[in-house]
Amino acid sequence: MSGSMVSSTDLKHKALELGFMSVGVCEALPAPHLAAYEDWIAKGYHGSMEYLARHVPLKANPTELLPDAASIVAVALNYYQPNPAVPGEPHLATYALGRDYHRVIRGRLKKLAAWIEIEYPGSHNRACVDSAPILERDYAHMAGLGWFGKNTCLIDSKRGSWFFIGLLLTSVKFEADAPALGACGTCRACIEACPTGAIVFEEGRWQVDARSCVSYLTIEHEGEIPPDLRQGIGDWTFGCDICQSVCPFNQPRESQPLRAGLTTEPDFLNRRQWPNLKHIQQMDEVQWDELTNGSAIRRTGLRGIRRNAEINLQNGS
C-alpha cells in the first residue's frame, strides 16, 4: 500500500486499548544488527538451534515476510509476577508460568491488524511473535520500546525488562518513533550473577553464549547436559530469570512511577499446578500432554523436563 505518512496516534490508542503495556512504530528497514547476528552464529553461540542459521536470509529484511511492508508496529506486554523457588518443586521461568505468550500476543496483534484493515482498506499486515524469522529486539529498539542491556535483554528505563515483544508488519506508512536511549553504565550485576558465565564480551559488545546459558540448556538443548554445567543449573527446571532478577532496572524505585509492576494479564496469572520434581521424573506422555497443553513449557519435551528435574534433585532442590 503506497501513500503518504499517516499519524500513529489512533493506532497507539488501539494497541493500548487491547491491553499492551507500550507501543511504538519504526520504518520497515533492513535489520540493523544483522551482521552482528551472523557473527554470533558463526561463533557457534547459537548451540544446536540450527534453525536460527537457516533463517538468516529471512531475517535480513522485513519485506521477506511482507513484501510491501512500510512500517513495523512494536508492542510490549508485561508478564512479571512473584516467582520464588520452592524446595522440591519445579522452578520455572516467570514468562512460562501461565498461558503460552505466543498465543496471547498473536491474538491481540491480529485484532490490531483487523483494526488497521478497516481504517486503511487494502492494507496488508502480518503479526510476528518471537517464533517468526525476524530480529524482533532490533525493531522494538528502533520503535522506542527499550535498549539493549549487557544481558542482551531489551530494557525500558522506566519499566525494566519483564515484558514480551510482539511485532506487526504493515503496508501502512505510520509516523515513526525515535529509537530508545539508555545504557547499563558500569553495572555488572547480570554478568556476575550468571551461574554459568554465559554473558561474554567480544567484538566490542556483550553477547550471550547459548551453549552455557541455563535457559538454553533447560529448554533447547537435547540430550545430556555437560557435567561442568549441571551444577550451574541449580534449581531451574525450565528457563532462568537470574540476569533479569538482579538488574537494577527491575528493582522497585520511588523515582520510577511508570514501572510496569505486576502483570494484570489473566492468561499469565492463571498458573497451572505442577507436580513435584520426583513426580515429574515419573510422568508419562499422556500426563505431560495434558499438563502442558497451551503452555510454552511444552517446548522442552517430556524427556528434557525429566532430565532437568533429575539435575535439580542432584543439586539439592
Strands (E), 79-177: 91-92, 125-128, 147-148, 154-155, 163-170
Q: Return the ∠ at Cα 187 (arms to 181 and 193), rounded to 5°.
A: 120
Establish whether 10 is a catalytic residue: no
Query: Phi and psi dihedrals of 22, rounded to 5?
Result: -155, 160
The C-alpha atoms of residue 312 and residue 151 are separated, in whole angstroms, by: 24
**Those residues with Cβ within 8 angstroms of residue 129's Cβ, 6 or more apart along the chain or in another chain:** 101, 102, 105, 106, 109, 136, 164, 166, 167
> What pTM was estimated for this model as a whole?
0.95
Give the bridge partners for 169, in sequence order.
72, 126
The C-alpha atoms of residue 272 and residue 157 are separated, in whole angstroms, by: 31
Q: Return the ∠ at Cα 198 (arms to 164 and 60), rounded to 5°.
A: 55
At residue 252, the pLDDT reads 77
The catalytically annotated residue of 39, 68, 130, 267 is: 130
pLDDT digits (tens, 9 = 90+) for 17-27: 999 999 999 99
The C-alpha atoms of residue 268 and residue 104 are separated, in whole angstroms, by: 9
The set of cell numbers assigned to 136 is 524482533
pLDDT digits (tens, 9 = 90+) for 214-238: 999 999 999 999 999 999 999 999 9
The set of cell numbers assigned to 1 is 500500500
Answer yes or no: are the C-beta atoms of 41 and 50 closer than 8 Å.
Answer: no
133-147, 171-185, 254-268: segment of lowest average pLDDT: 254-268
Q: Which amino acid type is present at position 93? A: A
Question: Is the four-CA dihedral 208, 211, 215, 221 of positive or negative sign?
Answer: positive
Query: In this structure, how many other beta carbons lie within 10 angstroms of the beta carbon of residue 102?
Result: 15
At residue 254, the pLDDT reads 60
The C-alpha atoms of residue 141 and residue 154 are separated, in whole angstroms, by: 7
Indicate if the pLDDT at residue 103 is higher than 70.
Answer: yes
48 vs 252, which has greater pLDDT?
Answer: 48
**CB-side neighbour CA atoms (13 Å) of 279:** 10
Query: In this structure, how many other beta carbons lie within 10 angstroms of the beta carbon of residue 86?
Result: 11
